[in-house]
Each structure stands twice: as C-alpha cells, then as structure tokens.
A and B are shown apart, each in its own frame.
Chain A
Amino acid sequence: MSPSFRYFSLLFLFFINNAFATPLAKVKVVLNRPALTDSIAIDVFKCYLSNIVISDSNYKNDLSPSNYHLLDFSNSDTIFLFVSPFANANSIEFNLGIDSIINSSGALGGQLDPSNGMYWTWQSGYINFKIEGSSPICTSRNHEFQFHAGGYAYPYNALKAFKFELQPNKPFHIEIDLALFFNMISLKNLDHVMSPGPNALKISKALASCFKIVEDEK
C-alpha cells in the first residue's frame, strides 16, 4: 500500500531543463490541505498529463510522440518531467488524461503500458486519474472513496485541456490544490466512480478546477 497523505501538503517538482540539465523553470505540484472540517486521507493520487506543449511567439516545443506522463504521487521517481525549454516561453498547454486516438490504438508500452494499472480491462480505455482514500463523511464501507475517471467517446469524453499564459523568463510551477476537488463534489453523496459516464465527467471537471499556474517568488 502506498503511504497515506493525511492532511497532505506535499510538494512535487517538475524541472523544465535545458539540454545540460540546468533548471531554467520549474513546475511544481502542491496538494494543499482541503478546506473541510472533516479529515480526508488520500492513499492514491495518480494522473496522466499528456501532450505538453511549451511555446513562445514563434516556436512550439511539442514533446510528441512520447508525450504521455503518468504521475504517481506515491512514487517520487515519476514526478520529474524533463522538457527542453526556451527562455521566453509564453504559454504552456497540456491535457489531463489520454486522448481518444491513443485510447483506440491497442497495446502500447512505456507510460501507456496497461500493466501500470491505469487501464480499464473490461471496457477498453485509459483511466485519466485515480484518487482514492477515506473520510468519515463517506457512508461507504470503511468510509472509503474511490474515484477513477476516464472515457474518450462522445458524449462522455473526460479529457481536460489546459492552456496557461506564462511570463517570459519567469520561473513558475503548476499547483494542484485538491481541496477544491473535495469542495466541488460532495463525498456524502458520491464516493465511487469507476467507469465512463456523467459522474466521470463531473469529477474530471472538479479535478480540472484544481490546476493553476503560480509564479515562483524570487
């Protein structure tokens, strides 16, 4: 079992590196304490970030074809993401989840290997993210909640696309504040999502609301 992030306030760093591995800008993911009175313990938080593109006014740094990153917040090896940057980048784009083309491409390896546990075997498709844990608010067995979001076919395509503007030459990080996720869904009424459909869309929207770009102070 992975560690339990009780009252999580963890910090994860993505370094955007140049060819010589000197950090130019960094992207970090922060999980803040949720603004809830009841406690929430998180056992699993995994998500796919894909199709990361960093651009300046005349150049796009598209990281394809292997631009699929599985982030597992219990395994620090997966948190590093190497991107060759350019100093005056002015925007970053990425998706939360896996696009429909990859979802219908059969057996793939690496980050997309179905043995990573982020693939639904009984109804083909990638799981865009997993959030699992427990809270006294949940009426389920052992007060557990288990959210697996995915689905690539219309009208239940759960992929979320982001585009953030960047200040040239300023270091930044991406922050994911899961408190907003738990504020948007009510754990009392919803503690399990395990397949594509309206609820998967709902929790995808909730997680998407947690992403923001923060400029680093310096």
Chain B
Amino acid sequence: MKNKLILLSVLLLCIAFVSINKNAFKYPKYFPKPVYALENNNRTEFKIELGRVLFYDPILSKDNSISCASCHNPYNAFAHVDHSLSHGINDKIGKRNAPVLFNLAWQKSFMWDGAINHLDVQALAPITHPDEMGETISNVLLKLNRSQSYKQLFYKAYGDSLINSERTLKSISQFLLSLISSNSRYDSMVLGKIKFNTKEQNGYRLFQLHCNTCHREPLFTDFTFQSNRLSIDTSLNDLGRYSVSLLPRDSFKFKVPTLRNIEFSYPYMHDGRFKTLAQVMNHYNSIGLINENILKELRKVMKLSSNEKVDLIAFLKTLTDKKFLFDAKHTYSKNNK
C-alpha cells in the first residue's frame, strides 16, 4: 500500500514536471532574456492553439475575407510576399510592407515606426484599420461569442467560456510568441555543430564589419530606429519614427529589421522597394555605408567587390531556418473550419 502511494506520488510529480516543462518558454542559451512579461500571460498549449485558430480566421475582418495570415504567410516567415505594400479588405492597399513575425518576445515595440508598445495590443491595429481588416473589437467579440467552436476553445484555454478582448488578444500573443526561429545554419555554427564554408565565412566577416552594429547578432537587430539612407518615396512620404516621437531627428528612420530568414521574406524594406538581396547589396554599396560605431581612424567606406557581395549574400542565407519555415505547428490548424 505504502509503496503504491510512493509510486503514485512519484508518477504525479513526473506528470507535473512534464506538463510544466511542456509549457516552458524555450530559447537558445546565447539569446538575451525576452522582454515580454510571460508572468502576466502564462503559456499553455491551449492558449497557443486558440491564438493560432484566430490568426488564420477571417472572422477578425469586417467582411470575413481577410485573416492575419492573408498578409503574414507562414512559408515566408510570416511576411507578405509578392506585395511591396500590404493588401487588406476590398483590395485596399496599405502604406507599408508586412514584416516577418518571429522572435517577437524580444521586441520592445512593434511596427516599422514602433507605434505599438506591447505585443498584446498589436492585433488591435490591423483589426481596426480601415485598409486592413476594417472591423471593431466589439464586433469581433460578438462574432466570437456566437460561435460554438470558439466557446470550446476559450473554455479549454481559460477554464470557462467567457470571451473578452483581453483573452482574445493574449491568446494571439501566445501564438505569436510561439514563433521562434533559432535553427538556421548560423545557429548550428554558433553551437559548434557545423563550420561555415569559405564563402559563408568571408561573408560573416564582412557582415560583422559593416552590418552588425544595427543588425546585431544573435537576433540580427538591435531594435533601434535608424536610417539606412534609402531615397525618400514622395508618393508615400512616410516619416517613419517621427510620426510617433515627433522628434525631427527621427524623420525617415525605421526599425532595424531582423535578417533571420531574409532569403524568404522578400520584398525588402518598409515599402518593399527591393525584390532581391542583390538589389539590397547594391543599395548599401552605392551609399558607401560607413560603420559609425567604431573608432574614427578605423572607419572605412564600404566598397564591396562583386565576389564580396556574393559572399555576404551566402552568409545571409545561413540565416534561413527551414525547420521554422515548414513547421506544421505554425500553419492552419485542424480547428480552423
């Protein structure tokens, strides 16, 4: 009897341990600490699943035609391929290119200009934007409340079937937080599992020399707002960070984007003006990028030869994470009907 009890408690402990472990937020040791406060939004598989169903459901848009995934495609690291500017309901065209979605737990602010200050409230922007999903949050809640299957999903995630905006938004956050990309060739190299070939190695050297100050390893962004001296598109006249901070020095500055999965997230820049990485290289080469964060005497104008450009691109391609791009856990769910 006593033995059985001990056995039972050991078993229970194991189950508890496994379930805690299953809900832990996992990331590589060489990543910094996440900024998202997970203690205010406990991670569970049911919340992630609910968020995933919402992400792929056009119910979030006014005419039930557009889902988050319409603009954020999982096979392109959740960027909007083939469209330089995003498309919303009634074929309305937005003014910016949809960015990739992963490693969002490390981001302090969202959007190209940092207008959104917390991942939980991010989804409100596309849902209510007239050119994107054109819906109101109260109407979304009405629609969700009418759905029997959502009642069940909320029940599983929260222990009762109450559907409110806080739960809806936090579930979407849980799905977005679960999108972690950390299985590229670059990551294997950092972990010492593989060695770069000579081209990649040379590209890595050039990257560290010219790009790493802004696109800082290991997330490949320092999360600041900078100008990489793109010419100003007068048809959009997008003032970037200035529209949030109202500081003149922030005019035409944009958030430094991550370069992970860059091979698959074309077109590039906030307005999607470049279709290929070669065009991006030519842009940086033509402005003669100067690394301003190193000693004045060491500053060198970037002047890459065509071989060096090829090597730099070879390095950028080591940031492709196929496991992430084709992870079945991130795509349309069986609960999406």
**A residues adjacent to B (C-beta < 8 A):** 103-109, 113-115, 119, 121-125, 153, 156, 197
Contact = CB atoms under 8 A, between A and B. Distances in A.
Contact of A114 (B41, B137, B170, B244): B137
Interface of B: 37, 40-41, 115-121, 124-125, 127-129, 136-138, 141, 164-166, 169-170, 173, 244-246
B111 to A, nearest CB: 9
A121 B165 contact: no
A124 B128 contact: no
Contacts of B115: 122-124
A103 B120 CA distance: 12
15 contacts: A103-B117, A104-B118, A106-B118, A106-B173, A107-B170, A107-B173, A114-B165, A115-B138, A121-B121, A121-B125, A123-B115, A124-B115, A124-B116, A124-B118, A124-B121
Contacts of B118: 104-107, 124
Contacts of B128: 121-122
Contact of A106 (B120, B137, B141, B244): B120
A115 B145 CA distance: 15
A137 to B, nearest CB: 28
A22 B2 CA distance: 60
B233 to A, nearest CB: 20
A107 B120 contact: yes
Given A106-B121, A107-B118, A123-B116, 18 more contacts: A103-B117, A104-B117, A105-B118, A107-B121, A107-B165, A109-B164, A109-B165, A113-B165, A114-B121, A114-B165, A115-B137, A115-B141, A121-B121, A121-B137, A122-B115, A122-B129, A123-B244, A124-B116
Contacts, number: 66
A109 B167 CA distance: 9
User: Chain A binding site: helix, strand, loop or mixed by DSSP?
Assistant: loop
A28 to B, nearest CB: 30
Contacts of A122: 115, 125, 128-129
Given A122-B129, A156-B246, A197-B246, A107 B169 contact: yes
Contacts of A124: 115-118, 121
Contacts of B169: 106-107, 114
Contacts of A106: 37, 40-41, 118-121, 169-170, 173
Which of A105, A119, A124, A197 has the most B CB atoms < 10 Å from its CB? A124
A171 B166 CA distance: 38
A5 B232 CA distance: 47
Nearest to B116: A124
A108 B41 CA distance: 11
B202 to A, nearest CB: 42
Contacts of A103: 117
Contacts of A123: 115-116, 244
A197 B245 CA distance: 9
Nearest to A110: B166
Nearest to A153: B245
Contact of B166 (A109, A119, A125): A109
Given A106-B118, A106-B120, A115 B165 contact: yes
A125 B117 contact: yes
